[in-house]
Chains A and B, each alone.
Chain A
């Protein structure tokens, strides 16, 4: 059955090729495969809506994220305050929007930073092997033997709590897994024949690894970046909930949820914690959908 489908697809491709309508560009194929995946599209749309809403926070909401209104404490959702107010009268809706900016920034920034370090090291060391590879591998092994939340907490104790420190800590704890992923990609790519050809031309290892090998590992790297973004957003929320994340003065998704530790708010004021919790869940789900879609699209063994 699978073979029939494959045959039909090949016939169709041949036909297109004869008509000269098939472009040789492989990115088109990946894009088409993503576009055919409904979950990935839902994820992308949801992601863009939430991202744009947070970026356009000053245009959408009329309240500042830290504007205190003591006469309007813990008021339920109304026309004036779409999602009500918290215990010191700050508008929850605008706090979610402004908080999203920081949470998304921390998530994306950490994932990109970790990828920058992990992938560059992994690309070069994975190609060259030898002492550098062994050393970095050992370091990543040591770092990965700490449970993530415990390692992050230790580093928070050492460097102190702040937005930039948190970003730094996430990058510091996140690169080992990126390194391993990039390295394993490189290990399989370096066995390919075109690498031998490049070496025979006497091209330097820096050029070979970064210019000629990295392009072939871009798929898994992007998948990893999306999934890490989701993970870091969840981690920021958990740390802020524990009171160890971004300082409480700054609105982030995790910091808004922090007040739910108060049982009275938990019992009586659902609008303070439930909407922001749902936003986090939706956002993380959206990123996971995109990541899964990318993974399927980048996988040539799947017919798409």
Chain B
């Protein structure tokens, strides 16, 4: 087991090298370099080309491509992620400022959607063909077809403008406000994000639960005279949960990538919003670092999924 995990993580290294190279290549392909952005446009006219070249060589920008990639990679490993082209603030600082907000939002949504999705999926499976199943199925169909941001907008109109239950958007920083007031801002975005992620979990959980209820051991449990709730919720659910656990693992990457749109809708000051504004203003270091970390999370999550499947299902062999 341990050697399996170590091997998986070692295999990650070449993949990360390739991806970091691609990301560096992407940064090189974008117009402008650090010098162009360091010097304000009005000052540019007063500076001679020779001075610019001197600055470039001092910063190591005239070195061969592979040398620059090497320097960049060494800096990356040491925790120096570069600087924002606009404000000059270190990308690590920006990430440290925005990451908590995103994690707060998407963790809440991940937990809620898993909870909603598996409960509704099980209910739907137990009442297959009945009214509650049909209602949930239709809701699931709408859920996968409606654009996430449209759902968010409708919720804002209903719960903020019409009912006035929640504040418009934004997020209060930790320590400044009481917990309940902060919760006020968190509830709507996280519920919207959760509900839009629920439909998938629900459909998956329903079919997995139906699968498990059709197995022989359920008949055995019934014929033993166990009460139906025990058969369904203890014997059936346990087997049905294995693929659902895997699905949850595959959703871990959504911690960063999944909330980009919702953060924009609710003006939530997280990584997603920073990413979108960085893309708009071609702020390359930020764009690339967010991309790099989201890929890192995806790859780590896929390893966790492998481990979880092996732990939950004794038939799976690690190799």
Residues of A within 8 A of B (CB): 141-142, 145-151, 153-154, 156-158, 230, 234, 237-238, 241-244, 257, 260-261, 263, 266-267, 270, 273-274, 277, 280-282, 284-285, 288-289
Residues A158 and B294 in contact, CB atoms below 8 Å apart: no
CB distance from B263 to the nearest CB of A (A): 10
Q: Enumerate chain A residues within 8 angstroms of B141, measured Cβ to Cβ.
A: 285, 288-289
Residue among A153, A237, A273, A280 with most chain B CB within 10 A: A153
B66 to chain A, nearest CB (A): 20
Known contacts A242-B264, A281-B150, A142 near B30 by CB under 8 Å: no
A38 nearest CB across to chain B (Å): 13
The reply to whether the CB of B99 lies closer than 8 angstroms to some CB of chain A is no
21 contacting pairs across A/B (C-beta < 8 A): A142-B19, A145-B298, A145-B299, A150-B257, A150-B291, A153-B275, A153-B276, A153-B279, A154-B287, A154-B291, A234-B147, A238-B149, A242-B260, A260-B153, A273-B153, A274-B154, A277-B150, A280-B146, A281-B142, A281-B145, A281-B147
By the criterion CB–CB under 8 Å, are A149 and B257 in contact?
yes
Cβ of B100 < 8 Å from any Cβ of A? no
Asked if B280 and A266 sit within 8 Å, CB to CB, the answer is no
Q: In chain B, residues 16-54, which have Cβ atoms closer than 8 Å to a Cβ of chain A?
A: 18-19, 22, 26, 29-30
Among A244, A266, A277, point to the contact of B276 (Cβ < 8 A): A244
Q: Which of B29, B258, B291 contacts A151 (CB 8 A)?
A: B291
B147 contacts A157, CB within 8 Å? no
| A57 CB, nearest partner CB in chain B, Å | 22
Residues of A within 8 Å of B22, CB to CB, are: 142
Please name all residues of chain A whose beta carbon is closer than 8 Å to the beta carbon of B30 when the two chains form the complex: 157-158
B147 touches A156 (CB 8 A): no
Q: Does B246 contact A (CB under 8 A)?
A: no
* Residues 257-279 of B at the A interface (beta carbon under 8 Å): 257-258, 260-261, 264-265, 275-276, 279
Size of interface on B: residues with Cβ below 8 Å to A: 46
Q: Kindly list the 10 A-B residue pairs having the minimum CB-CB distance in the complex, ordered from nearest.
A: A147-B257, A285-B145, A277-B150, A284-B145, A281-B146, A153-B279, A145-B298, A237-B147, A267-B161, A281-B145
Which residues in window 223-267 of B have CB below 8 A to A?
A: 253-254, 256-258, 260-261, 264-265
> Counting CB contacts under 8 A, is B284 at the interface?
yes
A14 to B63, CA, bound (A): 78
B113 smallest CB distance to A (angstroms): 17
A150 contacts B145, CB within 8 Å? Answer: no
Residue in A147, A266, A274 whose Cβ sees the most chain B Cβ within 10 Å: A147
Chain A residues, CB < 8 A from B276? 153, 242-244
In the complex the two chains form, is B253's CB within 8 Å of A147's CB?
yes
A149 and B18 contact, CB distance less than 8 A: no
- B residues at A contact (CB < 8 Å): 15, 18-19, 22, 26, 29-30, 141-142, 144-150, 153-154, 156-157, 161, 168, 253-254, 256-258, 260-261, 264-265, 275-276, 279-280, 282, 284, 287-288, 290-291, 294-295, 298-299, 302
| Residues on A with beta carbons closer than 8 Å to the beta carbon of B253 | 147
Let me know if A238 and B157 touch, CB within 8 A: no
Which of A142, A151, A241 gathers most chain B CB within 10 Å? A241
Question: For the complex, what is the distance from the CA of A266 to the CA of B266, rounded to whole Å?
Answer: 13
A238 vs chain B, min Cβ distance (A): 5
Q: A157-B30, A241-B264 are in contact. List 16 more A-B contacts (CB 8 A).
A: A147-B254, A147-B295, A150-B256, A150-B257, A150-B291, A154-B291, A157-B279, A241-B147, A244-B279, A257-B147, A260-B153, A266-B161, A274-B154, A277-B146, A277-B153, A284-B145
B294 partner, pick from A150, A230, A261, beta carbons under 8 A: A150
Find out whether the CB atom of A146 lies under 8 angstroms from the CB atom of B157. Answer: no
Secondary structure at the A interface, as helix, strand, loop or mixed, is helix
Task: Tell which of A145, A157, A257 touches B282, judged by Cβ atoms closer than 8 Å.
Answer: A157
| Residues of chain B lying within 8 A (CB to CB) of residue A285 | 141-142, 145
Chain B nearest CB from A135 CB (Å) reads 12
**Once the chains are docked, how many angstroms separate the CA of A236 from the CA of B144?**
15
Chain A residue contacts of B254, Cβ below 8 A: 147
Which residue of chain A has the shortest Cβ distance to B141 in the bound complex? Answer: A285
| Residue pair B168, A263 in contact (C-beta under 8 Å) | yes
With a 10 A CB-CB cut-off, give which of A145, A156, A238, A273 has the most chain B CB atoms: A145
> In the complex where A147-B294, A244-B279, A288-B144 touch, is A157 in contact with B284 (Cβ < 8 A)?
yes
A261 proximity list for chain B (CB < 8 A): 264-265
Structural contact, A280 and B147, CB atoms closer than 8 A = yes
Q: Which residue of B lies closest to A144 (CB)?
A: B298
- Is B150 touching A257 in the complex (CB atoms < 8 A)? yes
Is there contact, CB below 8 Å, between B295 and A241? no
- Residue of A at shortest CB range from B290? A150
Q: Are A244 and B280 in contact (CB under 8 A)?
A: yes
Cross-chain contact A145 with B157 (CB below 8 angstroms): no
Q: A142-B15, A238-B147, A281-B142 are in contact. Are A150 and B153 (CB under 8 A)?
A: no
Give B298's nearest chain A residue, CB to CB: A145
Chain B residue contacts of A284, Cβ below 8 A = 145-146
* Contact pick for B148, options A150, A151, A238, A289, CB 8 Å: A238
* A residues less than 8 Å from B261 (CB atoms): 149, 238, 241-242
Chain B residues lying within 8 Å of A154, measured Cβ to Cβ, are 26, 279, 287-288, 291
Contacts of B145 in A (CB 8 A): 230, 281-282, 284-285, 288
